[in-house]
Amino acid sequence: MRLTRTIFIFVLGVGAGCASRAPVLPTLIKQVRQDNAAVKVKALDRLSRLGPGAEPALSSVVEAFRDPRAPVYQGAEKTLLSLGSLGLEALGTLLSDRDAWVRARAAAALVAVGPKAETVLPQLFMALNDRNPNVSEKASQALASMGERVVPELLNMLQSPNASVRQGAAMTLGLMDSKCQALAGDVFLPRLKSKDPFVRGEASMRTTDMGTVGVPIFLKVIDSEDSDLRHRALQGLAEIGDTRPEVLDALIRLLDDPQNTLRLKSSLVLGTFGESHPEVYKKVAPLLASNNTNVRRGIVRSLGSMGAMANPSIPALVFLLEESPDPTLREDAMESLLKMGTTESVEAANRYTKDHYDRTSRRDPVVTEE
């Protein structure tokens, strides 16, 4: 008898609970549709606790996500994510909203979802090419969070004739781990080594378009016996502008390349990099004391392109002017001082020229017998 009564009371309680919750959802939906931000936020918070049970409120929550007020659209985002697959589908639809800021917020919401957002992959890849950079950047981050599964499509995009498509794919790969980035090398490295000059040229262009993702690919061929590959790798690294130590080491090695054009080009690239990157100057300046003539000449030339960054090397350049037995090296040192174009470097060059003139003019004239 007691057991029967207990069951009856339990069932009655559940029924009363359901009855009391029945009108809650319509009330919350009405509150979400109100203009008062505080009311909307409170209602959205309660809806988010219902999880998938808040499905009838989906359209109202989507409209709240379009609200420009941060507390409101953040509350709507929380509710959409609590809805599971339905909420993700709604965010995928919002990636094509007319308002760029709504599209950007939808992409940003998907960043934290990670691999679970695979249901909206097509929409994210479309958003990757969005004309608004905020949208494409967030879409790139969301795709990168999905890991290796998106790499095949990114590699296909890297081969697109559309530069913006390639840029979006490269940007995404650049956010991924080295394992994913290495897969790009598996595709483009063989093409870069192709005997067909057209295939090689196109691969070089595509690799350059990858930005930092393309750096390891170029580093793998920059020491090749194929001089054309060395030229292409050097040009690609110059355009990418990455100054990581491995790149600088490769450029320094090229200062002693058998081809004079490569030696000259590498010194110019080092100089260009060093003009705005202090770590480059710190790396190359000590090499003024190198025993390798080609390397020393290349460093002298590169310093001339660094402007004020190379001012600390002015005494060393003047020393070469005064003491080096190599006339070509002395000429390079003078040219670099003038090319640096700073007050200190130009004064040092002029001072040396004047001193040199004074010394030679003071020499005893040669007397010849009649």
Q: Give the tens place of pLDDT for each residue, 187-243.
A: 889 989 999 999 899 889 889 988 888 999 999 999 999 999 999 999 999 999 999
Query: Looking at the structure, do residues 289 and 307 belong to the same domain, yes or no?
Result: yes
Alpha-carbon torsion, ordered 123, 125, 128, 131, to 10 deg: -60
Residue 227 lies in a domain: yes
Residues 261 and 322 in one domain: yes
Does residue 43 surpass a pLDDT of 70? Answer: yes
* pLDDT beyond 60 at 3: no
Please give the mean pLDDT across all residues of the chain.
Answer: 88
Same domain for 220 and 255: no
In a domain, 252, yes or no: yes
* Phi and psi based region of residue 114 (left: phi greater than 0; alpha: psi -120 to 50; beta: remaining): left
pLDDT digits (tens, 9 = 90+) for 301-324: 999 999 999 999 999 999 998 889
Same domain, 283 and 313: yes
Contact (CB, 8 A) for 200 and 191: yes
Total count of domains within the chain: 2
In a domain, 323, yes or no: yes
Rounded to an integer, what distance in angstroms lies between the CA atom of residue 69 and that of residue 67?
Answer: 6
Can you tell me whether residue 241 is helix, strand or coil?
coil
Domain contains 330: yes
Q: Is residue 133 part of a domain?
A: no
Is 9 a domain residue?
no
What confidence score (pLDDT) does residue 1 get?
A: 45
pLDDT of 125 higher than 60? yes
Same structural domain for residues 225 and 307?
no
Does the pLDDT at position 357 exceed 90? Answer: no
* Domain match, 232 and 251 both: no
- pLDDT score of 23: 55
Q: 336 and 251 share a domain?
A: yes
pLDDT in tens, 5-23: 444 444 444 444 444 444 5
**For the residues 338-342, what does the mean pLDDT come to?**
93
Residues 273 and 222 in one domain: no
238 and 300, same domain (yes or no): no
Whether residue 253 sits in one domain with residue 238: no
pLDDT of residue 358: 53
Let me know whether 163 and 224 are in one domain.
yes
Which tokens hold the place of 255?
Answer: 């200062």
Contacts 24+ apart (CB under 8 A), 173-176: 173/144, 173/210, 173/213, 174/210, 174/211, 174/212, 174/213, 175/140, 175/141, 175/144, 176/144, 176/147, 176/151
Rounded to an integer, the average pLDDT of 49-64 is: 94
Task: Answer yes or no: is pLDDT of 100 > 90.
Answer: yes
> Which of 224, 242, 260 represents a domain boundary (last residue)?
242
Share of the chain above pLDDT 90, in %: 69
CATH of the domain at 289: 1.25.10.10
Domain end position, chosen among 182, 216, 242:
242
- The answer to whether residue 195 sits within a structural domain is yes
Q: Pick the last residue of a domain from 188, 222, 242.
A: 242
- Determine the structural domain holding residue 274 and report its residue range: 244-357
* 270 located within any domain: yes
Residue 221 φ/ψ, nearest 5 degrees: -120, -5
Q: Do 213 and 294 lie in a common domain? A: no
